Amino acid sequence: MNNKDIATPSRTKEILQKHGFSFKKSLGQNFLTDPNILQRIVETAEIDETTNVIEVGPGIGALTEHLARTAHQVLAFEIDDRLIPVLADTLSPYSNVKIVHQDVLKADLSAETAYFDQVGPLKVVANLPYYITTPIMMYFLESKLNVDEMIVMMQREVADRISAKPGTKAYGSLTIAVQYYMQATTAFIVPKTVFIPQPNVDSAILRLVRRETPAVAVSNEKEFFRLTKAAFALRRKTLWNNLLHSYGKDEATRSWLETSLQQAEIDPRRRGETLSLEEFGRLSNQLEQNKKTREV
């Protein structure tokens, strides 16, 4: 590694001082100061000269630089106007980077990605601010963009929840929402000591690879996600109590739920966290089918 890396502690401090930058807690800014970890992120993402990369929250450009050295092109969204001149300075050696000064959640992704001048694998690689990790991930997963992989740094506990297996404490509606679209694995842990300022918890690099088709075939996606949220509404309650709580307790609803559970061969006394994606899919399809007959 040469000393010119943005991510070394001394260069990071030098850049922050030069631009008189101070951290905004409200934006969840924690800058990584270890070039080796940044290199590992790029390797985990398996980026090469054919890859187009979207980055969220480039900060002072530490990860952006490593991506630019390897990828075809990098499109980075930065919300903090104070960082735009910093990035123009730190990333001036790289002609394959475009910085968009915007909240990624409000961006027109299809218009912005017209920047990429050749078709190749599209990957999202980012050190996500803790307070907005889930909305950003879901935004990409539900967008019309064909994102092949997401390699994202987040709070370790959130990564555990996303990659959790049924029957574990971490397993929940977030697990299902992400695993429906992607295969999730935790690549490695990043200690809190390599950040300025130092966060309170360790981070993890989560690797999400898009499935060719969703994990389960469901007749109504919206209702499938409504069901999975309902199943975890009251953590310690049975599936039956959670469904009554969310869908209603009148006689017709009870009968509809009971029949659907029976046909899907799912014991209503189980807890939501014991159901696999496949079982949730089966129950969702049964509820949907019976709802149609109920409405006739």
Residues 6 or more apart whose CB falls under 8 angstroms from that of 242 comprise 230, 231, 232, 233, 234, 272
Tens digit of each residue's pLDDT (9 = 90 or more) over 19-28: 998 877 667 6
Residue 34 shares a structural domain with residue 14: yes
Asked if residue 184 is part of any domain, the answer here is yes
Whether residue 250 is annotated as binding a ligand: the answer is no
Residue 205 shares a structural domain with residue 232: no
What confidence score (pLDDT) does residue 197 get? 87
What confidence score (pLDDT) does residue 12 get? 93
Nearest residue to 101 (alpha-carbon basis) of 86, 114, 116:
86
What confidence score (pLDDT) does residue 217 get? 97
Tell me what the mean pLDDT of segment 254-262 comes to: 97
What confidence score (pLDDT) does residue 286 get? 97
Tell me what the mean pLDDT of segment 173-200 comes to: 94
* pLDDT-derived band at 129, boundaries 50, 70, 90: confident
pTM recorded for the entire structure: 0.89
Residue 180 shares a structural domain with residue 245: no
Whether residue 277 is annotated as binding a ligand: the answer is no
Residues 6 or more apart whose CB falls under 8 angstroms from that of 149 comprise 45, 46, 121, 123, 124, 207, 208, 209, 210
Residue 235 shares a structural domain with residue 259: yes
Tens digit of each residue's pLDDT (9 = 90 or more) over 137-152: 999 998 989 999 999 9
Tens digit of each residue's pLDDT (9 = 90 or more) over 166-183: 999 999 999 999 999 999
pLDDT above 80 (res 78): yes
Q: What angle is formed at CA 107 by the lines to CA 156 and CA 145, rounded to 5 degrees? A: 75
Q: Are 74 and 122 in contact (CB under 8 A)?
A: no
Whether residue 57 is annotated as binding a ligand: the answer is yes
What confidence score (pLDDT) does residue 295 get? 66
Residue 123 shares a structural domain with residue 35: yes
What is the residue range of 248's domain? 221-295
Residue 263 shares a structural domain with residue 199: no
Residue 98 shares a structural domain with residue 36: yes
Overall number of domains in the chain: 2
pLDDT above 50 (res 125): yes
What confidence score (pLDDT) does residue 233 get? 93
pLDDT above 90 (res 98): yes
Whether residue 172 is annotated as binding a ligand: the answer is no
Select from 186, 210, 234 the last residue of a domain. Answer: 210
> In b/e form, how buried is each residue of 166-204, taking b as 16+ CB within 10 angstroms?
beeebbbbbbbbbbbbbebeebeebeeebbeeeeeeebb
The CATH number of whichever domain residue 158 belongs to comes to 3.40.50.150
Asked if residue 2 is part of any domain, the answer here is no
Tell me what the mean pLDDT of segment 251-280 comes to: 97
Asked if residue 37 is part of any domain, the answer here is yes
Percent of the chain with pLDDT over 90: 86
Select from 210, 236, 262 the last residue of a domain. Answer: 210
Whether residue 248 is annotated as binding a ligand: the answer is no
Whether residue 117 is annotated as binding a ligand: the answer is no
Select from 210, 245, 262 the last residue of a domain. Answer: 210
Q: Peptide bond before 58: cis, by omega within 30 degrees of 0?
A: no
Tens digit of each residue's pLDDT (9 = 90 or more) over 31-70: 899 999 999 999 999 999 999 999 999 999 999 999 999 9
Residue 21 shares a structural domain with residue 156: yes
Residue 206 shares a structural domain with residue 225: no
Residue 74 shares a structural domain with residue 180: yes
Asked if residue 215 is part of any domain, the answer here is no
pLDDT above 50 (res 84): yes
Tell me what the mean pLDDT of segment 191-206 comes to: 93
Rounded to whole angstroms, the Cα distance separating 171 from 266 reads 18
Residues 6 or more apart whose CB falls under 8 angstroms from that of 218 comprise 224, 281, 284, 285, 288
Asked if residue 136 is part of any domain, the answer here is yes
Asked if residue 164 is part of any domain, the answer here is yes
* pLDDT-derived band at 6, boundaries 50, 70, 90: very high
pLDDT above 70 (res 1): no
Q: Which residue has the tokens 């930058």?
A: 21
Residue 98 shares a structural domain with residue 240: no
Residue 163 shares a structural domain with residue 238: no
What confidence score (pLDDT) does residue 23 get? 79
